[in-house]
């Protein structure tokens, strides 16, 4: 029930913000490219899987409206598969391979030039494959993580060309595969520093972490999904 209410609330607020954007006269649009060197760890009652870090990269867009509202979005693709090889019994030689695509959307309001709040939506899709040694059947499924969230963000100008920035949100997500569907929630945060290289361009470096937890509906225990790593980006403002 809590998750359903959060979904409707997030959808309603986003619709109002987008409607406000349609009537905005003066907007500032920023396009960019973002990279995230993301590690990925899954923890279950039977053990954990820790994948090697992989670069994710893709476009970003930021729209600032004259009514202090803002819209943000990013779509990141893993440039290679996440992989983990088992070396302990009974899974010796089994290799787990994951692709990954992340969509993040935000719509919010800046109470001051340095502080604002937002509603968010996240979608994480991946293909999951277990490849066993010769003689064992491989297993493949699609896994989708998606749902709304709420959060705050801020920035602190250090000088005319340097700004510290950060965001913190709490996400309410559903993780679904061909085998099951479970609820999970948890924090997502990002901290970094941006450097203005001209009146229209900027580069940034930072750190982003997401940790989502849940319990299996059959009572078999809890699980965690953790994504974390360094970020870097380039932005151009029109």
pLDDT at residue 218 above 90? no
Sign of the alpha-carbon torsion through 83, 52, 228, 217: positive
The CA-based diameter of the chain, rounded to the nearest angstrom, is 65
Non-local (6+) Cβ contacts of 176 within 8 A are 143, 144, 145, 182
> Residue 180's pLDDT is what?
79
Of 158 and 126, more confident: 158
Q: How many CB atoms lie within 10 A of CB 197?
A: 12
The residue assigned the tokens 């970003």 is 60
Q: Checking phi first, is residue 237 left (phi over 0); if not, alpha (psi -120 to 50) or beta?
A: beta
Cα–Cα distance for residue pair 149/6, rounded to 1 Å: 8
> Residue 101's pLDDT is what?
94
Q: CATH assignment of 2-237?
A: 2.40.128.90
Q: Checking phi first, is residue 131 left (phi over 0); if not, alpha (psi -120 to 50) or beta?
A: beta
pLDDT at residue 229 above 60? yes
Q: Which H or E run includes 91?
A: none
Q: What is the mean pLDDT of residues 166-174?
A: 97
User: What are the beta bridge partners of residue 98?
Assistant: 82, 128
Q: Checking phi first, is residue 146 left (phi over 0); if not, alpha (psi -120 to 50) or beta?
A: beta
What ranges do the domains of the chain cover?
2-237
Which pair of tokens denotes residue 31? 């396009």
> Residue 134's pLDDT is what?
59
Nearest one of 44, 21, 60, 52 to 190, comparing CA atoms: 60
pLDDT in tens, 42-74: 888 877 888 888 999 999 999 999 889 999 999
Q: What is the pTM for the complete model shown?
A: 0.82
Q: b/e for 104-127, b at 16 or more Cβ within 10 A?
A: bbbbbbbeeeeebebbbbbebebe
pLDDT at residue 136 above 60? no
């Amino acid at each position: 029930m809590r998750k359903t209410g959060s979904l409707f609330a997030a959808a309603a607020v986003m619709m109002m913000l987008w409607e406000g954007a349609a009537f905005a006269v003066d907007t500032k649009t920023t396009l960019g490219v973002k990279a995230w060197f993301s590690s990925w760890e899954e923890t279950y009652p039977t053990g954990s899987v820790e994948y090697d870090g992989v670069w994710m990269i893709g476009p970003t867009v930021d729209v600032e409206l004259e009514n202090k509202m803002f819209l943000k979005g990013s779509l990141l693709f893993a440039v290679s598969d996440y992989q983990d090889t088992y070396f302990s019994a009974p899974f010796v030689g089994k290799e787990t391979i994951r692709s990954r695509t992340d969509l993040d959307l935000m719509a919010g309001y800046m109470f001051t030039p340095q502080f604002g709040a937002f509603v968010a939506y996240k979608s994480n899709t991946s293909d999951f494959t277990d490849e066993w040694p010769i003689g064992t059947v491989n297993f493949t499924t699609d896994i989708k993580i998606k749902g709304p969230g709420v959060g705050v963000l801020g920035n602190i100008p250090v000088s005319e060309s340097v700004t510290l920035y950060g965001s913190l949100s709490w996400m309410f997500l559903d993780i679904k595969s061909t085998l099951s569907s479970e609820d999970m929630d948890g924090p997502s945060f990002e901290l970094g520093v941006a450097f203005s290289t001209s009146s229209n361009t900027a580069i940034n470096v930072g750190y982003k972490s997401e940790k989502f937890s849940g319990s299996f509906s059959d009572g078999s225990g809890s699980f965690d999904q953790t994504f974390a790593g360094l970020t870097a980006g380039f932005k151009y403002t029109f």
